[in-house]
Amino acid sequence: MIKYNISTLKNGMTLITVPLPHLDSVTTMVAVGAGSRYEAKSINGISHFLEHMFFKGSKKYPTAEIIANLVDGIGAVNNAGTDQEYTFYWIKSAAEKVEFASDILSSMLKEPLFKEEEIEREKGVILEEIRMYQDTPAKNVWDLYINLQFGDQPLGWNVGGTEEIIKTLKRKDFTAYISSLYSPKNMALVYVGKLPKDIDKLAEKYFMDLPSRQFHKSAPYKRVKQDKPKIGVLQKKTDQANIVFGVEGYDRHSEKRYAANLLGTILGGGMSSRLFLQVREKRGLAYSVSAGHHTLIDTGIFAAYAGLKLEKVEEGIAVIKSEMIK
């Protein structure tokens, strides 16, 4: 079992260190409890938009180009991601560059510039990202399914937002949202890899002076009474039919989540799984077919996915349904 240590900095930030001395690299990551389920309808998509804006410059490193050149210049890679419940930012660097990576990440998060012109320019990037996913059936079908399962509440909204809302966001919306969630007490700093002995001191040096802010809890998930199956269909000209079969799963505190995870593996977790064998190997109905269980704070998702031949949709649905019933 991999050894790790969890502690808390004096400002309330969680510090997680995972020493892997056999590596020559370190991944430095900051995760924030800020995702689409924390948003109001009027700012839906701001968590993801904000993820982009932190790379656009800070007081110490004032442009996106400077940040990119610094990261590339040390042979490192960086990225970020946003989900329904969290956003994370990371840099993977050579072990001897972990302090530099900490400096860049901390500067991005504690002193972002959020220039109005950069916000307006980035709106175009966000809109094209939304359109890209809408043109990617295997991704879009999941967004449609999430909305179908959870409905018109934060958990059911698209993480990226809508084009109409993205166009209206202003600098004040970003600063207000940061003030409501980007508190050190709502963050975790993670170091994984070949760590120096003074990694705790390094964390304190670069992350102790993060601004102290408030943070609020997300609105609880509201279960909608359902007496019969719900169906969502999007008609679009494609070369295959992408489908998701799903039910509500277990939250991340439920003891039943372990059984659900195991069931997801048996049903569609690999090349020996039931769906892979029945849908792909024995019938040749799909290339991609899978199943799994995903936990959230107060609910979950258990679902199966397949990209089916257009002329074999009914057969594919029947096979997947049969395996899920089993």
Q: Which residues are catalytic?
A: 51
Residue with tokens 């969630």: 181
Q: How many residues appear in the chain?
A: 326
Q: How far is the C-alpha of 149 from the C-alpha of 247, rounded, in Å?
A: 8
- Structure-derived torsion over alpha carbons of residues 253, 258, 260, 263, reported in degrees to the nearest 10: 170
d(CA 296, CA 36): 12
Q: How far apart are CA 43 and CA 38, in angstroms?
A: 10
CB atoms within 10 A of CB 137: 18
Q: How far is CA 310 from CA 273, 306, 315, in A?
A: 23, 12, 10
- Residue 171, exposed/middle/buried by CB under 10 A (0-12, 13-18, 19+)? middle
Angle between helices 64-73 and 98-110 (to 10 degrees): 170
Strand order in the sheet with 286-295: 240-249, 300-309, 286-295
